[in-house]
Structure 1
Amino acid sequence: MSKNNVLNVTSEIGKLKTVLLHRPGKEVENLTPDLMERLLFDDIPYLKIARQEHDAFAKILKDNGVEVLYLEELAAEAIADKEVREKFIEQFLDEGNVTGQGTREAVKKYFEKMDNKELVDTMMAGVRKNDLENYTAKNLADMVSRDYPFVLDPMPNLYFTRDPFATIGTGITLNHMRTETRNRETIFAKYIFEYHPRFKDADVPIWFNRDETTSMEGGDELILNDKVVAIGISERTDAASVEKFAEKIFADGQTFETILAFDIPKKRAFMHLDTVFTMVDYDKFTIHPEIEGPLTVFSITKGDNGQLDIKKEEATLEEILKKYLEVENVTLIRCAGGDSIDAAREQWNDGSNTLAIAPGEVIVYSRNHVSNKLLQEHGIKTHIMPSSELSRGRGGPRCMSMPLVRESLKK
C-alpha cells in the first residue's frame, strides 16, 4: 500500500476495504466479579464462545472483500527490533504502575522468555502474581498490596478496537482514554504507527494525542461524509478535546469543513455517541429514542484568523442532518421501533450500534431481532452475527472494529 493511502476514511458507509480487530484473548478470563466494575464490565463473557462469535464476525468481513488485520499481530510485528521491544516493555511497565524494583525485574525476566507475539498476548491478558517465579522484595512498593492478584491488570476491553484510536481522513486520533484502566490500550497503536513497516514511513498525521490531559474515545467519533464529522461530548469525551481536534484537522487542509458536537447525557447507558447513533446509509441512521429529547448539537467551523466558529444549532436532529449532509430527507430508525420494553432490552445489547460495510449494508448482532427487522424493512441489507457472549462487554459491531481504509463515496 502506498504512502498516500495507508489510511483513508471519509465516511461511515463507504465500502470497507481494511479493518483492524482484536480477537478476544485470555484477558477475558482474567475478569473476576470483584474486578468487573474497575475494568468496566457488567458480566464475564465465556471466552471459547466469544472467540467463535468473533471469528464469525471476521468471516463476514472477509467474505465481503474486507482485509482484516489484528491488533495483536501488528503490535508484535512493530516491536521486531530489539531496542524497540525493550523500549516498549519499559514504557508498558511504567504505564502499568509496576514501580517495585523486585517486581519489575521479575516481570522483565518473565517477558524475556517470550517471542513478540506471546509477549503482546501476555501484556493484554495481564500478569498474575503467581505467574512470576519467586522474586525478592527490594523496596516498599514490592512489599505492599500483597493481596491483589495482578502485577499488571488484564485489558478485557481491547476487543473494542474502535476506542483507543480512530481513523479520520488520512490521519488518526490517538486517544487519551477517560479511565486509567483503558488508557494503557493506546500504547499498542502508538508503537504500530511509529514502528510497523506498513505505517512508520507514511507520516500519518495525529489529530489528537494520547498525552493530552482531556479525554477522547473513538466511539464518539463518526465521519458522516468528507465534509462533516460528528463527535459526542459524552461520559468519555470532553468538550475541550473536540476543540483541540477541530483546530488540528482544520489546520491540516483535510476536506472536513464542519464538526457537529453532539452533547449527550453523561451516563453509562449512553457511553459513546455510537452507542445511541450510527449511520447505515446516505440518509438513514439508527438511533436510541431516548437520546432525541436531551440532545443538543453545536456546529464548529473554521473561523477567521484560525479561530473556531461555534454555534448552537436551533433545529431538530433530522433538520440538522439534512442541512449538513445536503440530503432531502433523513430517516431515523429507532431502536426496536421505540417500544419501551423492546428498545430498552435491545439498547442494552447495542441495538443502535451497527457497522456499515457499504452504503445500506451493515453487520448487526443476532439478538437484536426487532431492530434488525426494522432495518430490513427500511431497505438495509443486514449481515447477522452471533452475539450471546461478545455483547456482555457492552459494545456492538461498530465498537469491535476500527476501519483503516474505506472507498470514498461517489458524489
Structure 2
Amino acid sequence: MTTPIHVYSEIGNLKTVMLKRPGRELENLTPEYLGRLLFDDIPYLTAVQQEHDQFAEALKQQGVEVLYLEQLTAEALEDAAVRKQFISDLLSESKADIHGAYEKLNEYLLSMDTSSMIEHVMSGIRKNELEKGTRTNLHELMEDPYPFYLDPMPNLYFTRDPAAAIGNGLTINRMKEPARRRESLFMRYIVQHHPRFKGLDIPIWLDRDSSFNIEGGDELVLNEETVAIGVSERTSAQAIERLGRNLLKRQNQIRRVLAVEIPKTRAFMHLDTVFTMVDRDQFTIHPAIQGPEGDMRIFILERGETDEDIHITEEHNLLEVLKKTLGLSDVNLIFCGDGDEIASAREQWNDGSNTLAIAPGVVVTYDRNYISNACLRAQGIKVIEIPSGELSRGRGGPRCMSMPLYREDIK
C-alpha cells in the first residue's frame, strides 16, 4: 500500500475503512433536543455498541482493516501545540463564546489527557460538569436552561458524511446542518497530523471552508472515470459544480461527474439512501426517486475546451446514463422492498438501499430489510446481514456508517 487513500470504485475489494464506535454522545440525547441534534429516536447505548461491534467484526472477518475515528484523532493530537490548536478551533466552531464559557471550557479540556478530551468533545459538555463559582453577571444569573456548553455529536458514527475519498484524495466537507458542521474538523486534523497521512500531500478536492454544502453520503465513485453526486437535501448544486471543476482540472483519471437530482426530503437525505452500487452492473434503488417512466434529472459534467471550461449536458434516464458512462451493455436495477409500495417505503426508511459493498457482488446490509435482502440474493449478490434494531434509529445504514480509505482496483 503506497498511499493511504485509494478509492476508484464503489465495489473494489475493501481493504481499509474508518468507523466510529457509538459512545456517550447518544446518552446525551433527550426528546426535547432530538430535532436540534438531527435524531428521531434515542438508541440504547449498550445495544447499539454491541450491534456496531458486530458490524466491525463482520468487516474484519472479510479481511478489512478497521480504523476508528476516535483513535486516529487521539494519535493525530499527541503534540501539545496541535492539541491546543484543535481545542481552540473546536470551541470557536461551537460558538462557546456565546455562552461566555470559552476560557473555562478551554482550561477544562486542556487539563485532560488526549483520549479523555476527545471523548468529552464528541459526547458533549454539560453545564453542570463545570464548576460554576460565583455568578457575577446578568447572563449567569439568568442562565439559559439549555443544558450544554458544547453540544453532543451523536451523528459521528455515520463516518461517511464529514469526508469522503475520491481517487487518491479527499473531500473534507462543509456539512449543511450546524449540528454536524464540526464533524469534519476531525478529518482535517487527522490528514494534517496523523503519522499515517501527514506529509504525503494528499489532494483535498474540496475543503470544509467552502461556501457550499456537500456531504459524503451523496458522493459515489462508480468507476475510475465516473463520480456520481446527489443533488439532495444536504448537497447543493454549487458544491457539486465546484467539486467537479476541481476533479476535472487537477487529475486525469476522472472524466465525468454525474449530478443526480433526488427529492429533497429527510427520508431520502442522501443519494446513498436511495441508490447504491452492488456489482459491476447492478445497483439497488428506491423506485420513488424515479418518475412514471423512470425519468429523473441527471446532469453530466465533463471537461470543456480549456481547463477552465466545463461542459454540462442534461439527461433523464438513469439506466441509459449508467450504461453509457460506465461502458456497459446492460444495467440491472434491484428495487428496494421489491418495488412494493409499502415494503419499499418501509425498508428504505430503514436503509434497505444503503448497502456497503466490500467486493464485487458482496454487500453488508441491515438484517431487518429482509425483502430487499432477498431481492439482492435472487440476483446473485452475496449478502452479509448485521443486526440493526438500535443502529437503524439513527437513520443510516452500513454505507453511512463507513468511510472507505482504500479499495483494490477493479480487474
Deviations 1:345-400 (A, max 9, x none): 11110000000000000000000001001100100001100000010010000000
In structure 2, distance between residues paired with 1:138 and 1:398: 50
- Aligned residue in 2 for 1:98: 96
- Aligned residue in 2 for 1:186: 184
Assess, with a 3 A threshold, how the Cα gap between structure 1 residues 47 and 326 changes in structure 2: closer, same or farther: same
Residue 352 of structure 2 contacts residue 369 of structure 2 at CA under 8 Å; is this kept in 1? yes
Q: Does 1:307 align with 2:276?
A: no
Assess, with a 3 A threshold, how the Cα gap between structure 1 residues 205 and 36 changes in structure 2: closer, same or farther: same
Q: Residue type of the partner of 1:176?
A: R
Deviations 1:79-137 (A, max 9, x none): 11010011111111101111058522222232233211111111000000111122455
Note the C-alpha offset of 1:138: 6.6
Q: Does 1:327 align with 2:325?
A: no
> What's the secondary structure of 1:269's corresponding residue?
coil
Residue 22 of structure 2 contacts residue 157 of structure 2 at CA under 8 Å; is this kept in 1? yes
Note the C-alpha offset of 1:269: 1.3
Q: Residue type of the partner of 2:203?
A: P
- Aligned residue in 2 for 1:22: 20
Assess, with a 3 A threshold, how the Cα gap between structure 1 residues 201 and 327 changes in structure 2: closer, same or farther: same
CA RMSD of aligned residues (A): 1.4
In structure 2, distance between residues paired with 1:402 and 1:266: 23
Equivalent runs, 1:147-166 vs 2, <5 Å:
147-166=145-164
Residue 356 of structure 1 contacts residue 362 of structure 1 at CA under 8 Å; is this kept in 2? yes
- Deviates further, 96-105 or 152-161: 96-105
Which consecutive aligned stretches of 4+ in structure 1 deviate over 2 angstroms post-superposition?
134-146
- Aligned residue in 2 for 1:198: 196
- Aligned residue in 2 for 1:109: 107
Assess, with a 3 A threshold, how the Cα gap between structure 1 residues 384 and 298 changes in structure 2: closer, same or farther: same
Q: Residue type of the partner of 1:313?
A: E
Q: Residue type of the partner of 1:364?
A: T
Equivalent of residue 245 in structure 2, options 247, 262, 268: 247
Deviations 1:52-87 (A, max 9, x none): 000000001111110000000001111110100111
Q: Does 1:88 align with 2:86?
A: yes
Q: Count the aligned residue pairs.
A: 407
Q: Residue type of the partner of 1:12?
A: E
Q: Does 1:362 align with 2:363?
A: yes
> What's the secondary structure of 1:311's corresponding residue?
strand
Residue 99 of structure 2 contacts residue 149 of structure 2 at CA under 8 Å; is this kept in 1? no
Residue 248 of structure 2 contacts residue 256 of structure 2 at CA under 8 Å; is this kept in 1? no
- Aligned residue in 2 for 1:392: 393
Deviations 1:118-162 (A, max 9, x none): 111110000001111224557666566521100000000000000
TM-score, normalised with respect to structure 2: 0.96
In structure 2, distance between residues paired with 1:145 and 1:308: 53
Structure 1 residue ranges without an equivalent (≥5) = none
Q: Residue type of the partner of 1:338?
A: G
TM-score, normalised with respect to structure 1: 0.96
Structure 2 residue ranges without an equivalent (≥5) = none
Deviations 1:218-264 (A, max 9, x none): 00000000000000010000001011101111111241101010011
Q: Percent identity?
A: 55
> What's the secondary structure of 1:268's corresponding residue?
coil
Q: Residue type of the partner of 1:395?
A: G
- Aligned residue in 2 for 1:76: 74
Equivalent of residue 38 in structure 1, options 36, 39, 42: 36
- Aligned residue in 2 for 1:342: 343
Residue 72 of structure 2 contacts residue 190 of structure 2 at CA under 8 Å; is this kept in 1? yes
- Deviates further, 131-140 or 237-246: 131-140
